[in-house]
Amino acid sequence: MRVSDIIAGFIDDMLNQLGGTAELQRAELATRFNCVPSQINYVISTRFSPEHGYIVESRRGGGGFIRITRVEMEPEKLIMHTVNAIGDEIDINSCSALIANLLQGGAISELQARLMLSATGNNALRPARVEQRDTLRASIFKQMLINTL
Amino acid sequence: MRVSDIIAGFIDDMLNQLGGTAELQRAELATRFNCVPSQINYVISTRFSPEHGYIVESRRGGGGFIRITRVEMEPEKLIMHTVNAIGDEIDINSCSALIANLLQGGAISELQARLMLSATGNNALRPARVEQRDTLRASIFKQMLINTL
DNA sequence: TAGATTAAGGTCAAAGATGGTCAAAGTCAA
DNA sequence: TTGACTTTGACCATCTTTGACCTTAATCTA
C-alpha cells in the first residue's frame, strides 16, 4: 500500500469528520506517517488540488498550518463551472480529476462518470496524434457535459 | 505448453477465486513464470482484452499494479456484439443507429445514449481532421461501451 | 525595537519503482 | 514456405519517495 494513499485517506477522513475543512500540521503528519514532510505536499498537490475540488491555504512560521477545504456547489453550477474550466485543451489527469470531482459533488452519476472517463481516456483517443489528444479531449468532454444539463 | 497459456490460466484462476477481479504486479508475475515483464502485457492484450469481456486498468510507479475485471451478464451480450461489430471506423450515421439500437434493446439507458451521442458526434470530434473522425468515433464508442458493462 | 533564533511550511530535482510500447527474432502448423 | 502467434529485450512514460536548500512568521534578547 502506498504511503501517499494512506495519507490521502487520512486527510479525507479528517475532512469528513470536520465537515469539509481540515487544518493540519505538515511536520506532525510527516512524523505520524513516518515520511519526509515534502511528501505531504506531494499528496496535497496530487490529490487535493483545485481540480479535485479543494482549496488549500497555508501559513509558515510558528503556529503554521495547512488548511484544506472541500468546495461544494450545486450540480448545475458545478457543471457550468467545470465546462468553463476546461478551456481548449485538457490533459488526461486534469480531466479525470474534474470528472471525479463532478461525481463526488453529485453532479453526475457513477455511470456517467464512467462513460466520460471512457470517452476521454487515452485508449479512446489513441487514433489521434498525441499533440491533438488534449484538444479533442476538451471538445468531447465539454460536449458531453453540455448535453448532460 | 505455451507460457502465455499458463499465465492466462493463472490469471483466470485468480479471477475465479477473487470473484471476477484480480490485481497483479507485472514484475512479480514475470518472475514467477520466468519470463520477461512485457510478456504479461502480451497475455493481457491477447486474452483479456475488452473484446474478450474484460476491463483492464493499471498504474505505474511505486505500488503500481494491473487490475483485470471480468464483466458478464445478459444485456451485455448485445453490447459485446455491438463492440465486435464496430470495427476500426464507423461513420456518424451507423454509430447513431447502433446507439439507437442498444437503447431500444434495453442494453443502455437514455442517459447513456445521450452521452454516447455527444461524445461521438461531429461537434465533439471537430478538432480532428475529417478523414480521422470515423476512426476516432469507433475507438471512443467502443471504449464507452466496454466500460458500460 | 533591531537582530537573532526558532518554528513552521515550500520548491525542486534526483533516485527509485513500476508498468507500457514496439519491433525483431523464434516457433509451428497448414 | 508462409502466415499467425509467441517470446524477448531495449527503450520509454509515469508515479512515488527522499532530501537538500529556501522562504516566511513568531518570539526572544540585548
Q: Pick out chain A residues at pLDDT < 70.
A: none
pLDDT at B52 over 90: no
Decide if A107 touches B, using CB distance below 8 A: no
pLDDT, position A96: 93
pLDDT, position B73: 64
Q: Which residue is closest to D8 in terms of CA–C1' distance?
A: B36
Task: Specify the higher pLDDT residue, B87 or A30.
Answer: A30
Amino acid at A60: R
Q: Which of residues 119-138 of B touch A (CB under 8 A)?
A: 119, 121, 123-128, 132, 135-136, 138
A-B CB pairs within 8 A amount to 91
d(CA A53, CA A105): 9
Confidence of residue B118 (pLDDT cuts 50, 70, 90): very high
Task: Write down the residue that cell numbers 487544518 correspond to.
Answer: A23
pLDDT, position B74: 66
pLDDT, position B105: 78
In this prediction, residues B32-53 reach a mean pLDDT of 93
CATH code given to domain B75-146:
1.10.1200
pLDDT at B13 over 70: yes
pLDDT, position A18: 94
Task: Specify the higher pLDDT residue, B135 or A69.
Answer: A69
CATH topology of domain B3-70: Phenylalanyl-tRNA Synthetase; Chain B, domain 1 (3.30.56)
Of all residues in chain A, the one with the smallest CA distance to B129 is A128
Which segments of chain B does DSSP mark as H helices, in order?
A: 3-17, 26-32, 37-47, 75-86, 92-104, 110-120, 122-125, 130-146
Say which nucleotide is closest to residue A59, CA to C1' distance: C9
pLDDT at B77 over 80: no
Distance in Å from C8's C1' to A35's CA comes to 17
pLDDT, position B97: 86
Q: Give the full edge-to-edge strand order of the sheet including A21-24.
A: A21-24, A65-70, A54-59
pTM score of the predicted model:
0.79
Q: Locate the domains of chain A by residue range.
A: 3-70, 75-146
Local structure of A57: helix, strand or coil: strand
